[in-house]
Amino acid sequence: MIWEPIDDLVKSVKTGRTSAVELVNRSLKAIADNQEYQAIISVLKDNAMARAKLVDQAVANGEDPGVLAGIPFIAKDNFLVYGSDTTAASNILKGFVPPYQASAINRLEAAGAICVAKANLDAFAHGASTENSDFFVTKNPHDKSRVPGGSSGGSAAAVALGLAPFALGTDTGGSIRQPASFCGVFGLKPTYGLVSRSGVVAMGSSLDCIGPLTRSAKDAAIVLDVMSGRDELDSTTIDKNAAGYSGVKALNLKGVRIGLVKEYMGEGVNEEVKAAIKRAVEDLAKRGAIISDVSLPSLPLALACYYIITPAEVSSNLSRYDGVRYGYRDKQAADLFESYTKSRGHGFGKEAKRRIMIGTYVLSSGYYDAYYKKAQTVRTKLINEFAAAFSSVDYLVGPVAPTTAFKIGENAQNPLAMYLSDVMTVAANLAGIPSLSLPLAKDKQNLPIGMQLMAAQKKDYELLSLAMAVEETIK
Amino acid sequence: MAELSREDVLKLVRLARLELSEAEIEEYQSELSQILDYVKQLQQVDTAGLQPTNQVTGLINIMREDEIKDYGYDARKLLDNVAQTEADQIKVKRMVE
């Protein structure tokens, strides 16, 4: 299923050439026709239909139905949405019905967008393949024997399959960009704090970002424009760009300084991936961009840094799942302590428990300075190197992941190998800078290769305009 | 290699309020050792003169008026998610003898 660009669809709804009900029906049919990929956890048919009718009514009454009028979308199942179970693909939250919904969803709905379904993920967004879902494994739309990437694997597969014009993901260490790369779609992780996280299941609070998965940079800009900006329910939010994002135009590449990240083009990176990136960079140079190799010497440390800081924050954020106020509660416990240990021990999946224990270890007395505080200080070093890099170039580019989509089961028995899939994406989260993945090419097995673009903090608009220029170049 | 002993794992399990099977304890003992061994490389990094980063966008003390706002939350819906209730109260197992 191919969707038109979002602004064309909205125009069609506003002028009555199509209707919100028609678009929602199209989306629901695509979901029903593609069940074999297992991208979706739950479908919000009745709610979506009711909202679609409201949008169509507004159009009929001559009212403004909003900049996303009638656009169906799919939310990763760690977004709280009214009328849907929100599970984060975890057994411990199975059956949880949110009494409120995410600010991002509220803003999208106010603009006329319609949530039609909730997408699969690695439980609690812990993973890089969606194999850590406590429910089922999503399959890559380009090759069913392969993973869609993760943790927003359901969202990326959904957009690749055309189940909706856009999907929402969360990105703590690459969870939007890596699956976007594996599934051949566009994925944006904005500057830290640009989109409110109120009502989204927390993972690593100093890293978590919300962003869109779409078919193009332009569509991502339109969705970001609606979701971004301060929210009093999330005190880490920042102001959006004064001009917004939806008016973004392709950047004139003449004289634009682009740095190819040296550390991402070395050993351990698939040759076809490297070749595709090199070709793209040469094409940008032909259009006037000034290309240079840029080194950030601490980048090889980013993954170790990430796998200390994230589990530490995970262990804190997941301490709320105690079986008392919500979530799974074990019925066999003799006392309250056992009620905690049994509910958590049986309710959490393997990876969640692994991260809780690592986090508990690095935060525990005697190890805090050597692990956690050290990682936070190495993070400063990395941030300084990014600042230095962005004083000599306007953008950084490189691959998104060392490989294209791997086989289901290939890394499942080796957690460390799975963690290495995030090696090129975690740095942007540690530094809080915007980063995106755009579909660049295909490898010999016809699997998508993504290109990662990064800019300094709050340069989301500029980053999207570079992405549009790259899209034009590779067309 | 940062060898985690069985006792280390049992201590973590207790601190983190997790009940694990024997097989899980064994599995995690080796996996966690591997992961900690990998992240230990940071300890060799020279960070003299640098402060730890806790917040990346430089925000400090974001304040708002302390006023009551009605977000329309329904107490009934909150209680619907609780495993055990009695007279609209959350019921838990006993804490002390």
Q: What is the DSSP string of A418-448?
A: HHGGGTTTHHHHHHT--EEEEEEEE-TTS-E
The partner residues of A260 in beta bridges, in order of sequence, read A293, A397
Phi-psi region at A39: left, alpha or beta (left = phi > 0; alpha = psi -120 to 50): alpha
By residue range, what is the domain housing residue A226? 1-475
Q: Which of residues 34-93 of B touch A (CB under 8 A)?
A: 34-36, 38-43, 45, 47, 50-57, 59, 62, 64, 71, 73-74, 77-78, 80-84, 90, 92-93
By residue range, what is the domain housing residue B22? 6-44
Beta-carbon separation of A379 and B53 below 8 A: yes
Q: Is B63 helix (H, G, I), strand (E, B) or coil?
A: coil
Residue ranges of chain A with per-residue pLDDT less than 70: 1
Q: Is A7 helix (H, G, I), strand (E, B) or coil?
A: helix
| pLDDT tens per residue across span B25-54 | 999 999 999 999 999 999 999 999 999 999
Let me know if residue B10 belongs to a domain. Answer: yes
Q: Which of B24, B31, B92 has its CB closest to that of A324?
A: B92
Which of A222, A213, A205 is CA-nearest to residue A149?
Answer: A213
Q: Which of residues 173-232 of A touch B (CB under 8 A)?
A: 191-193, 206, 232
Let me know if residue B17 belongs to a domain. Answer: yes
Who has greater pLDDT, A415 or B96?
A415
Let me know if residue B91 belongs to a domain. Answer: no
| pLDDT tens per residue across span A171-221 | 999 999 999 999 999 999 999 999 999 999 999 999 999 999 999 999 999
Tokens 């993945």: give the residue. Answer: A437
The count of other CB atoms within 10 Å of the CB of residue A289 is: 25
Beta-carbon separation of A304 and B41 below 8 A: yes
Amino acid identity of A166? F
| Residues A349, A356: Cα–Cα separation, whole Å | 11
| pLDDT tens per residue across span A282-303 | 999 999 999 999 999 999 999 9
CATH of the domain at B22: 1.10.20
Q: Which of A90, A151, A196, A343 is catalytic?
A: A151
Number of residues in chain B: 97
Q: What is the ipTM of this complex?
A: 0.95
- Among all residues of chain A, which has the CA nearest to that of B4? A361
- Among all residues of chain A, which has the CA nearest to that of B37? A304
- List of chain B residues whose C-beta atoms are within 8 Å of the C-beta of residue A357: 9, 12-13, 16, 18, 28, 32
DSSP state, residue B53: P
Q: Is residue A302 a contact partner of residue A427, using CB atoms and an 8 Å limit?
A: yes
Tokens 């962005």: give the residue. Answer: A390
Phi-psi region at A228: left, alpha or beta (left = phi > 0; alpha = psi -120 to 50): beta
CA distances from A115 to A27, A105, A171, A335 (A): 10, 8, 20, 41
Domains held by chain A: number: 1
| Residues A96, A48: Cα–Cα separation, whole Å | 19
Q: Is residue A358 a contact partner of residue A311, using CB atoms and an 8 Å limit?
A: yes
| pLDDT tens per residue across span A120-179 | 999 999 999 999 999 999 999 999 999 999 999 999 999 999 999 999 999 999 999 999
- Among all residues of chain A, which has the CA nearest to that of B48? A377
Tokens coding A438: 């755009």
Let me know if residue B89 belongs to a domain. Answer: no
| Residues A472, B23: Cα–Cα separation, whole Å | 54
CATH of the domain at A449: 3.90.1300.10
Let me know if residue B53 belongs to a domain. Answer: no
| Residues A181, A183: Cα–Cα separation, whole Å | 6
- Among all residues of chain A, which has the CA nearest to that of B15? A360
Is residue A205 annotated as a catalytic residue, yes or no? Answer: no
Q: Is residue A273 a contact partner of residue A449, using CB atoms and an 8 Å limit?
A: yes
- List of chain B residues whose C-beta atoms are within 8 Å of the C-beta of residue A430: 56
Amino acid identity of A371? Y
Does the pLDDT of residue B57 top 90, yes or no? Answer: yes
Let me know if residue B16 belongs to a domain. Answer: yes
| Residues A67, A389: Cα–Cα separation, whole Å | 37
Domains held by chain B: number: 1
Let me know if residue B36 belongs to a domain. Answer: yes
A358 touches chain B (CB under 8 A): yes
Helical packing angle, A6-14 and A20-33, nearest 10°: 130
